[in-house]
Amino acid sequence: MAIQENISLEEYKKLQDFIYKKSGMFFPVSRKGYIEKRVLKRMEALRFDKFDTYFNILKKEILRTEIINLFNVITINETFFFRDIPQLKALKNHIIPELIKNGKKSINILSAGCSSGEEAHTIAIIMKENFPKISFTVTGIDISDLVIAKAKRAEYSEYAVRFIPKNYFEKYFTKLENGNFKYKDELKRGIDFKKVNLVEFDKANLRKPFDVIFCRYVLIYFDKESKKGVVKSFYNNTAKSGYFIMGNSESLFSVSEDYQMLHFPSAIIYKRRD
């Protein structure tokens, strides 16, 4: 069976619109090659030789799991522990101490678009090591079943763990026979992972509100209107005087005025306007 070799621009625009309506993620024509490669692999796996056949399966939800499979392959995001150190220092040195000073006895943190869990586990390590007397919860959410399963399994490559300080590494990880490293099960208390579509965040069954929301390098997949909607949902579920943390290259400019911009050494953090 000869599978269609490429997707036409007209076909891509139909798929682009479908993905946007289902998830809020917008992949411009400049990302066509990236999406096309992954869609053709899904067609091959299902033995569909024509895009129209595959798209019909998606649109009519004939195979309900295929939408999940598609999102799994287009949202895979390479990440690692202790990414963007200046933001993590702001969390440790300023944000958490201020929340404690304001009377917080338990701190609720969200890792949105958590991928395979590196960010959520990093935050948990920072909390355990620096604020041992403070109760906390870190919830990681992602649209992909695949990465949520990986996050719960908590097994990582040498690449993913390369920036973990040595004293933390020895305490929190066990080396496996296959060369990977596993976050110790007995240290997972307070960490949870759930599948959530950010477009439906308000409806998600999560422990809200959040004192700190991390959403780094996720909203780059959203167009301005979808981004505004997601950020508004975050605001609605941020605790009074809570914080919102984006990726280093990201900004809320022209997206939301609900948060105040704060400057920390080599990091910009947003604080909820009350």
Residues 202-236 have pLDDT tens digits of 999 999 999 999 999 999 889 899 999 999 999 99
Do 108 and 67 lie in one domain? The reply is no
Mean pLDDT on 9-36:
93
Do 148 and 54 lie in one domain? The reply is no
**Domain assignment present for 149:** yes
* pLDDT value of residue 73: 86
Between CA 143 and CA 127 the distance in angstroms is 25
Least confident range of 11-20, 64-73, 116-125: 64-73
* pLDDT value of residue 248: 84
- pLDDT of residue 120 exceeding 90, the answer is yes
- pLDDT of residue 37 exceeding 80, the answer is yes
**Domain assignment present for 79:** no
Report DSSP letters for the chain, one per residue: -PPP----HHHHHHHHHHHHHHHSB---GGGHHHHHHHHHHHHHHHT--SHHHHHHHHHTTSSHHHHHHHHHHHS-----TT-SHHHHHHIIIIIHHHHHHTT-SEEEEEEET-TTSHHHHHHHHHHHHH-TTSEEEEEEEES-HHHHHHHHHTEE-TTTTTTS-HHHHHHHEEE-TTS-EEE-GGG-TTEEEEE--GGGGGGS-----EEEEE--SSGGGB-HHHHHHHHHHHHHTEEEEEEEE--TT---TTT-SSEEEEEETTEEEEEE--
**Domain assignment present for 119:** yes
- pLDDT of residue 2 exceeding 90, the answer is no
- pLDDT of residue 46 exceeding 80, the answer is yes
* pLDDT value of residue 4: 83
Domain boundary among 32, 51, 74: 74
Contact between 212 and 109 under an 8 Å Cβ cutoff? The reply is yes
Do 24 and 145 lie in one domain? The reply is no
Mean pLDDT on 7-11:
95
**Domain assignment present for 3:** no
Q: What is the pTM of this model?
A: 0.86
Mean pLDDT in the chain? 93
Residues 47-99 have pLDDT tens digits of 999 999 999 999 988 877 898 889 888 876 678 999 999 999 999 999 999 99
Do 59 and 187 lie in one domain? The reply is no
- pLDDT of residue 113 exceeding 70, the answer is yes
Mean pLDDT on 101-114:
96
CATH of the domain at 167: 3.40.50.150
* pLDDT value of residue 268: 93
* pLDDT value of residue 61: 83
Across-strand partners of 258?
Answer: none
**Domain assignment present for 4:** no
Do 189 and 258 lie in one domain? The reply is yes
**203 Cβ contact partners less than 8 Å away, ≥ 6 residues apart:** none
**Domain assignment present for 214:** yes
Show the domain range for 67.
9-74
* pLDDT value of residue 274: 85
- pLDDT of residue 177 exceeding 90, the answer is yes
Do 70 and 145 lie in one domain? The reply is no
* pLDDT value of residue 1: 61
**Domain assignment present for 127:** yes
Mean pLDDT on 150-157:
96
CATH of the domain at 38: 1.10.155
How many structural domains compose the chain? 2
* pLDDT value of residue 63: 79
Mean pLDDT on 129-134:
96
**Domain assignment present for 138:** yes
* pLDDT value of residue 249: 81
Contact between 107 and 127 under an 8 Å Cβ cutoff? The reply is yes
As a dihedral over the C-alpha atoms of residue 269, residue 142, residue 181, residue 162, rounded to 10 degrees, the angle is -30
